[in-house]
Amino acid sequence: MIKAIRLVTLIMMISPAATYAGDNERLLKEIDRNLNPQSYESYRKLINIEPGGRKKEFVMFSVKKGLEKMVVLFISPASEKGRSTLRLGENMWLYIPNVGKPVRITSLQSVVGGVFNNADILQLDYAAEYNVETVESKGQQYLLHLKAKTKTVAYDRIRMWADKERKLPVKIECLTEKNMLIKTLHFKTIKDFGGGIVRPSVIETDSPLYKNYKSIMVFAKLRKRVVSDEVFTMTFMPRVDSLRK
C-alpha cells in the first residue's frame, strides 16, 4: 500500500512537467508548420547590403521535403546560374556547373556571402534541430529558449520571439554555447501565399560580427509541393532546373 502511494505521488510530481515540456515542443512544431509547409517549393530573392550601400542580389528556387531534405537552385545572377546546394540532415553539398562532382560545404559557410550562412539558406524545421528548454510569456508574444540537439547545428542556442495569435516568429537571436550573439533575424511583412499559407515574406538579418552589413530574404512565391526522393540526391543536382518546368 505504501509503495502504491509513493508511485502515485511520483507520477503526480512528474506528469505536469512532462506535459508542460510536451506542450512546448508542440508549440515549436506549430510555429514550424505555420512558417513553412513540411514539403514545399518557393522562389525567393536574397539581397546582401554592404556598409557603403553596395548591393548584390540572388534569385533562388527551393524545394524542401520532410524534416531533412532541401535543394536550392540559383537562377540569377548570371555568374551563379545553375549552381545548386543540397542538404540531407546535417550534410550539405554545392554543385557548380562544369566543375565536376558536388563538393561538401558546412552550415557556417556562406555560398552567397553576406550575413546569411548555408544553414539559414537551407533552413530545416526548427523542431528538427532544436529542443525547447523553456517558454516565457511576454505580453502578446512567446519567448522560446531553444537548445541544439547536436554539436553540428549552426547555432548552439536560439531565442525565438513568436506572435501568440499567429504562432509565427517575430524575431530570432542566434547564440553560441556561451550565449554570445551571432546574428538576429527579423521576420516582417505577413503575406497570404494561398493554400492556407500566411507567413512573413521578408526576413532581415544583421550581426555584431558584421558591422553595418545587412542581408534580406524576400519570398515571392511559396506553395505546398511533394516531389520524389530522387530530387534530393547528388546525381540530380545538375537537373534541379527541370523542376521549374
- Quick one: pLDDT at residue 15? 43
Q: Say which DSSP state 51 is in.
A: T
Q: Which of 174, 29, 167 is nearest to 115 (CA)?
A: 174
Residue type, 188: K
Look up cell 497570404; give the residue: 192
In the chain the domains, ranked by start, together with CATH numbers, are 40-244 (2.50.20.10)
* Under 8 Å between Cβ of 186 and 201: no
Taking only the tens place, the pLDDT of each residue in 206-242 is 999 999 999 999 999 999 999 999 999 999 999 999 9
Stretches where the chain sits below pLDDT 50 are 2-5, 7-19
- Quick one: pLDDT at residue 100? 78
- Quick one: pLDDT at residue 18? 45
- Quick one: pLDDT at residue 21? 64
Q: Which of 158, 190, 161, 192 is nearest to 176 (CA)?
A: 158
- Quick one: pLDDT at residue 6? 52
- Quick one: pLDDT at residue 17? 44
DSSP lists the bridge partners of residue 190 as 200
123 CB neighbour count, 10 Å cutoff: 21
- Quick one: pLDDT at residue 13? 46
Which H or E run contains 214? strand 214-224
